[in-house]
Structure 1
């Protein structure tokens, strides 16, 4: 969690509150707390005024995993990941002029929710997600060209949720589900 002051009576900042909300949402998505418990703890975290109150809202949550964010960046050229590669909890991908090709269909996905933060200039990006994945594109902003994605009609429960956010400038993003 963001470094919080040790004094339980000290006031908290918005960044600490945002971090606490994110931790609670992750705990829910990973099955550590129920929906009712999430609602109660979110209310507690959002109304907390002191460090002690915020810490109480996060009590008994599993420790945050270290090293769950990776960044891949290139000005030009190609960014490519395929095969049995380890997908971090948060993947930041930035490409000014190149092409991005991420194939998650055979990747090792250990987290129920994967966040892909995409910053694409004029190149193209193609992301292949597992067949049973749920894709969330609400945090993605497109500039020049429209996004190409068809929602799967039927999806088996238990697949990961892939949240794609960020900005696609003059490039194009295509997201598709694996066929096998």
Structure 2
């Protein structure tokens, strides 16, 4: 019996490495780790090649403020976030009518779980998640059309979990994983 080849481990992006360095520096400044441990962990972060190596270098650090919430709102028009933007722990997106496009594929995601709360009246929403992310849509209520999401057959350990909640009136949510 032939086994399927495994996906290669998720490689470290430069924005993830920079976020890890900042988190270590903050932990040192707040007195959570001594200088020697900071040097050792920085060495691990700067030489890490996979995301799981980054996660292990940040292990045992205190969790960041879970109350970090940002809101993006518009009555009409487009809401768009893409590129290297910093994703908060909780992101609330509200639009009466218009389109929403959130691209998390190159975003700086410092939390293991990201909650996105959608409150959309009329219009489409598209969310692109990192290749190694897992998506949870169970608490999203749609009024007119069902969401379109096809989970990855093979998961990549160590990626963020994206939970999408809220309500959509007339429109469709499309979620896809980034290619790389």
TM-score by length of 2: 0.64
Distance (whole Å) between structure 2 residues aligned to residue 148 and residue 64 of structure 1: 32
1:1-180 equivalences in 2 (<5 Å): 62=62, 65=65, 68-180=68-180
Match of residue 22 from structure 1: none
Cα distance, 1:63–1:85 mapped onto 2, change above 3 Å: closer
Gap runs ≥5 in structure 2: 1-57
Between 1 and 2, higher relative CO (CA 8 Å, sep ≥ 6) is seen in 2
Cα distance, 1:65–1:177 mapped onto 2, change above 3 Å: same
Distance (whole Å) between structure 2 residues aligned to residue 136 and residue 77 of structure 1: 27
Runs of 4+ in 1 over 2 A off after TM superposition: none
Distance (whole Å) between structure 1 residues aligned to residue 66 and residue 112 of structure 2: 16
State the number of aligned residues. Answer: 123
Distance (whole Å) between structure 2 residues aligned to residue 68 and residue 103 of structure 1: 19
Cα distance, 1:120–1:89 mapped onto 2, change above 3 Å: same
Gap runs ≥5 in structure 1: 1-29, 33-61
- What is the deviation of 1:65? 1.3
